[in-house]
Structure 1
Amino acid sequence: MGTLLPTSLIAGELTQYEAKYDILRKGKNHGEAVRELKKISDDNYELTYHSNIEWMIFSDSRQETSKFTFKDGKVSPHHYSMIRTGTGPDKDYNIDFDAQKKVVNSSRSEYPLECEWTDDFQDAISYQVQVREGLKKGETSFSFPLIDKKGNRRDYNFEVVATEMISLPIGNVEAIKVKRLYDNDKRQALAWFAPEMDYMLVRMWKGEKGMEQFEVQINSFTVTTPVIAPPADIKKVTSPE
C-alpha cells in the first residue's frame, strides 16, 4: 500500500498532503478530484478541493478553497470560495468569517449576512478537517453550523456507524464509517476515514432515495509536510577514545 501518513510530524500541527481520487458512478470512472492541505503561516492553513466530472452530456468542474486557523485542535475558517463551471449556470462566490466583528460576509450580499455569530461556524469543506480531529480524539458524533451563500444557517450532523475494512485502488484499508444525518431519508451521505493514514478521507458515497449518485475513492496520496532539519550550529557529539 505504500508509506502511511504520520499522525503528526510536529505536535499541534496538521499534516500537509496532496490526495487524488477517482469519481465513480455505478462502478465506472467519470472524473477525478484532488484535495490538498497546505500550511500558509503560523496556525493558518489552506485546503483546496478541485474536481472534474464528465458523464454523458453532463460536465462539472469546481474548485473549493478554505482558509482557516487551526489552534488547540479547533478549526476556525475565515475565508471560503467556490468556482463552478460546466453544464448549467456557472457559480462563483466567496464567504468571509470575521471573528473580531462577529459577522459573516458573502460576495452575493452588499451587507453582512443576517445570522447569529458563533465561534463554531465551519465552511463547506473546513468541517471535514474538524471531523478528522474529532475522530482522533475518539468522538463518535459531530454537529457543525454552516452558512451557505444565501446566508442561511445549515446544521451538518454526523455519527460514526462502524469500523470496516474497505477495498480501494491503494489497497485494503481499515476505515471509520461516518454517516451524515438528514431530516429525512431521501438523501444519504457516507464517508470513510482511515486511522492508519492520519484519518485521511479515503472514500465518499452519496445517494438519493437509495440510488447512488456518485462515489469517490482515493487512489494516491503524498505527504508534503517539510522535514525540519536540526539547526546548523548543533555539532555531533562523539564519545572520547
Structure 2
Amino acid sequence: MANPSLNRVINWSSSLLLILTLVAPASHAGPPVAPFTLDYHLKSEGIPFTVTATRTLKPVKNGLWEMQVQAKNWLGEIRETTLFDWQHCIPESTYYGYYRRGLGRVKEAKLHLDREAGVAASERTDKPTRSYPITDEATDELSVSLALQCSLQAGQQDIKLQVADERSLENHRYRVVGEESLEIDGQRIETVKVQRQRGANSKRQTYMWFAPQHDYLLVQLLQENSDGDHVMTLQSMEGL
C-alpha cells in the first residue's frame, strides 16, 4: 500500500528541484556563476522530517557545464541533471535528465535540445517520444536559478526566460519584489526577493531569495501549492 507521506515528499521535492529546485562560456573570460557544491534543507507542511538536497555546478568536457540536484534518503531518491553552455546570462541547455526512485518504482525523463535543428525531443517513462520547436535562447527548468543569479548580478529587476520542459517551451517572467533579511544557520543574510509572475489568480506561487553579498547565490526558495508550502533553504553560509 502506498505511503501518502512518502508520495507527498516525492511530489514536493520534485516540484522544488524542477523550479530550481541550477562551462566555459562562449562569450566570457570566466563563467557568469562560479562552480559550487551546496546543501539545502527541503521541508514540507505535514511532513515530520527534513530532506537534504545537494546542488552541484561544475565544468565538464567539450566546454559544457553540468548542474545536478540530488535528494536521497532511505525512502527513495530524486536526481536532476542539466548540461549547458553559457551565452551571456542564459544557460543554453543541450540536455536535461530526471530520475526518481521510490515506492519500488522508477521514473525517468530525458530532454534533448538540438540547437542546430531548433527542436527539443522529450522521452519519459511509459510515454511516447514528444518533440517541439525551441529558440536559440531556450534553457531548462533546472537552470532557471542560474539564469536569475547571473541576471541579478547584471542589475536586472524584471527577467524573462524561455524554458523548455517535458511538454513544451514556455515563457517565464520573474521580478524583484523586495529585500529581506533571512537567518541561515544562525547568520543574518541580506537578500533580494524574486517572484515568478504567474498572475494574481494562480493558486501556485514561487518565490526565491538571492544574497547580493555572495554573488546573488540562491539561499531560499518557497513554493506555495494547494497542498501547502514547500521550502528549500541553504544549510550554511560557511566557506562562502
- TM-score after normalising by structure 1: 0.76
Residues 18 and 222 in structure 1, CA contact (< 8 A), matched pair in contact too: no
Q: Which amino acid aligns with 1:133?
A: C
Q: How many residues align?
A: 208
Q: 1:12 matched to which residue of 2?
A: 30
- The answer on 1:80 being equivalent to 2:99 is no
Q: Which amino acid aligns with 1:17?
A: F
Equivalents in 2 of 1:201, 1:42: separation in Å?
27
Question: Which SS does the other structure have where 1:130 is aligned?
Answer: helix
Q: Structure 1 regions of 5+ residues with no counterpart?
A: 1-9, 225-241
Q: Structure 2 regions of 5+ residues with no counterpart?
A: 1-27
Correspondence 1:1-241 to 2 at 5 A: 11-13=29-31, 14-26=33-45, 29-41=49-61, 43-52=63-72, 59=75, 61-87=77-103, 90-108=106-124, 113=131, 115-149=132-166, 151-169=167-185, 171-183=187-199, 184-209=201-226, 212-220=228-236
Residues 52 and 61 in structure 1, CA contact (< 8 A), matched pair in contact too: yes
Q: Which amino acid aligns with 1:37?
A: L
Specify which structure has the higher proportion of helix. 2
Residues 134 and 169 in structure 2, CA contact (< 8 A), matched pair in contact too: no
Residues 17 and 222 in structure 1, CA contact (< 8 A), matched pair in contact too: no
Residues 185 and 237 in structure 2, CA contact (< 8 A), matched pair in contact too: no
Equivalents in 2 of 1:144, 1:53: separation in Å?
33
- Superposition misfits of 4+ residues, deviation over 4 angstroms: 26-29, 109-112, 221-224
Aligned-pair distance for 1:61? 2.5
Question: Which SS does the other structure have where 2:60 is aligned?
Answer: strand
Residues 184 and 237 in structure 2, CA contact (< 8 A), matched pair in contact too: no
Deviations 1:15-67 (A, max 9, x none): 1110001112359642110000001146421000112478xxxx552110010
Equivalents in 1 of 2:186, 2:86: separation in Å?
29
Aligned-pair distance for 1:170? 5.6
Equivalents in 1 of 2:177, 2:103: separation in Å?
35
Whose Rg is larger? 1
From the superposition, tell whether residues 143 and 71 of structure 1 become closer, same or farther in structure 2 (CA, over 3 Å).
closer
Aligned-pair distance for 1:152? 2.3
Equivalents in 1 of 2:205, 2:187: separation in Å?
25
Q: Which amino acid aligns with 1:185?
A: S
Equivalents in 1 of 2:141, 2:55: separation in Å?
14
Question: Which SS does the other structure have where 1:220 is aligned?
Answer: coil
Residues 123 and 129 in structure 2, CA contact (< 8 A), matched pair in contact too: no
Q: 2:23 matched to which residue of 1?
A: none
Aligned-pair distance for 1:141? 1.5
Equivalents in 2 of 1:185, 1:112: separation in Å?
27
- TM-score after normalising by structure 2: 0.76
Mean alpha-carbon deviation: is it higher for 199-208 or for 163-172? 163-172
Equivalents in 2 of 1:17, 1:222: separation in Å?
13
Aligned-pair distance for 1:156? 2.3
Aligned-pair distance for 1:88? 8.6
Question: Which SS does the other structure have where 2:133 is aligned?
Answer: coil
From the superposition, tell whether residues 28 and 172 of structure 1 become closer, same or farther in structure 2 (CA, over 3 Å).
farther
